[in-house]
Amino acid sequence: MNISKIAILDYKNRPFIEEHHIKGIKEVVPAVEVVYALSANELLHKAPDADILVTYPYVEGVIDYCKNAKNLKLIHSVISGVDILVNSEIRDMDIRITSTKGIHGFPMADHVLAYIYSFLRALPVFGQSQRNKEWNEAAQALCDETFGKTVGIIGLGKIGEYIAKKCKLLDFRVIALKRTPVQNQWIDKCYSTSETEQFMKEADFVVAIIPLTSETKNMIGEKEFGMMKKSAYFINIARGGIVDEVALVNALKAKEIAGAGLDVFVNEPLQKDSPLWDMPNVILTPHAAAQSPFYNDRAFKVLIENLQRYIRGEELLFESERSRSW
C-alpha cells in the first residue's frame, strides 16, 4: 500500500520520536513526507491529509485530529494502551489502530519488584525515619523476605508473563487470574475469574496488569479488597480505572490490606487533595512503570516493522480488534 504522508503527534512532556527515528522512517519509505508536531491543532494545520498517524494517544486533541484527517487509514500508538482511541468515535471509523507491545516487560517487571522489595524490607517506614532523622530500630521488626511469599498476577499477557518469570526466578510462588486459564511454565496455578476469591486469599502481593475495558472498569473494589489477606499488598501498573479508588482508600485506611504500590490512577495527574498522597503504607509513582532509556528505540522497531508490513499488505503487529480481552 502507498504511503504519501505520515503525521507524528508527539508528547511534549516526554517525546517518543527523535530525529534519528524520523530519518529511519524515510529510509523505509523514501518518498514519504513526515510531518512532526507537538499539538493536534498544529498537526491538523500542517497535515490534514496524512495517511498514517504515529502518536501518544493521550495527547490533548488527538481524537479531533483523527476525525478531521479525512485520508487517515492507520493510527500507530507508541504505547500499548489504546483504550482512549477504541472507546471513542474512532471506533466506528474506517481507521485501523495498532499499538506498541512486547517491549514493556523489562522495565515494568523491575518496577513491580521495586514495590515488592520496598514493602518486604519496610523501606517506606525507614524512608520516613530518615527524613525525620530518627534511628528507628523498632521498625526492624517489619522486615520480611521472599521465602514462602506468593505473587498473584491479574492478567497474563506479555507483560504479566514477564513479571511472572522474574518473580518465579526469584523464588516466589506465582499464581495468575485470567478469564480463560492457561498453562504457563512460570505460573504455579492459573485461576479463572470464577475463582477470584481463592486467588485473592492466596496472594501476598496482588499485581494488576490488565487493559481498561467496559468489562474491567472498577473490576477491583470493596468486595475484592475484602478477599485479600490483611498482610497483603495491592500493586496497580495497569490503568487506574480498573480499580474503585474510593474502595481502595477505604481498605487502606481500615487496614483491610497492608498497603499499595500505585503507578496509575483514575485521574492523572493525581489530584493534590487525594488521601493517597499522605498514606504511609502507599508508594506512589507518576505512571512511570514502563519508562526506560531504551523505550524509544524499542518502540521505534515496532513502528518500522508495521510500516513495512503495511506497505507489503501483510498482517500488522498488535492491531486492535476494538474489543480486548485479558
- pLDDT tens-digit series, residues 82-97: 989 988 999 889 999 9
pTM: 0.92
Nearest alpha-carbon partner for 325 in 178, 184, 164, 187: 178
The alpha carbon torsion through 249, 115, 265, 81 (nearest 10 deg) reads -150
- Whether pLDDT at 325 is above 60: no
Cell 496509575, residue located: 264
Q: How far, CA to CA in Å, does 107 sit from each of 52, 159, 162, 205, 247?
A: 28, 10, 10, 18, 28
pLDDT for 1: 83
Residue 76 corresponds to which cell in the numbers above?
500507530
Cell 518518498, residue located: 31
C-alpha–C-alpha distance, residues 96 and 84, integer Å: 14
- Whether pLDDT at 182 is above 70: yes
Catalytic residue among 76, 239, 245, 256: 239
322 catalytic residue (yes or no): no
CATH of domain 5-103+293-312: 3.40.50.720
Q: Torsion-angle region of residue 228: left (phi > 0), alpha (psi -120 to 50) or beta?
A: beta
Catalytic residue among 60, 268, 314, 322: 268
Q: What is the mean pLDDT of residues 100-109?
A: 96
Domain boundaries, the chain: 5-103+293-312, 105-284
Look up the CATH superfamily of 105-284: NAD(P)-binding Rossmann-like Domain (3.40.50.720)
pLDDT for 322: 56
C-alpha–C-alpha distance, residues 73 and 65, integer Å: 13
Q: Which residue has the higher pLDDT, 171 or 91?
A: 171
287 catalytic residue (yes or no): yes
C-alpha–C-alpha distance, residues 247 and 224, integer Å: 10
| Tens digits of residue pLDDT in 204-222 | 999 999 988 889 999 999 9
Residue 262 pairs in a beta bridge with 236, 284
Q: Do the two domains 5-103+293-312 and 105-284 of this chain adopt the same fold?
A: yes
Catalytic residue among 287, 298, 309, 324: 287
- Whether pLDDT at 323 is above 50: no
Q: How far, CA to CA in Å, does 135 sit from each of 12, 117, 143?
A: 43, 21, 15
pLDDT for 72: 97
